[in-house]
Amino acid sequence: MLYKRDLAGAIEVDGQTYAWELQREPQWCTAEGWRGMTVAVWLVGAQRQAILEFPMPTRTTNGSPQRQRPKLNGAVAINGVRAALAAGWEPTSRGRPVIFMVDANGC
């Protein structure tokens, strides 16, 4: 069976439903080097999004760095929503999307 990666979904955090979707895959930028993936999360029925920007992880194998894509699933989105709420994101307010940098440990 072919493994299919989730690119969007819905999660429940503290009794409220949030939607999430992959916005950008990891990519090479000539000005900044490797940029990690970004995931958009928002409260269903509200307008303001939180953009979770993950660093590009590196793993070494035999001394040479290997780039790999971070795992993406509902648990990552739940942790991201909780971290964004703790950092001051107000999903029911109006305005531009809020960008949060996620550390290498997950949130």
**For residue 35, what are the CA distances in angstroms to 1, 45, 52, 58, 60?**
31, 30, 12, 12, 18
Q: How far is Cα 42 from Cα 84, in angstroms, rounded to an integer?
A: 11
Residue at 107 is within a domain: no
3 in any annotated domain? no
**Beta-carbon neighbour count of residue 32 at 10 Å?**
7
CA dihedral 74, 75, 79, 80 (to 10 degrees): -30
Specify the number of domains making up the chain: 1
How far the first Cα of the chain sits from its last, in Å, is 32
Look at residue 14 and tell me if it is in a domain: yes
pLDDT in tens, 33-82: 778 889 999 999 998 999 999 887 666 666 555 666 667 788 888 998 99
Q: Is residue 25 part of a domain?
A: yes
Name the pTM for this structure. 0.79
Task: Give the domain range for residue 13.
Answer: 8-57+66-101
Q: Residues 77-101: pLDDT tens digits?
A: 899 899 999 999 999 999 999 999 8
DSSP 54: -
Burial of 41 (0-12, 13-18, 19+ CB in 10 A): buried
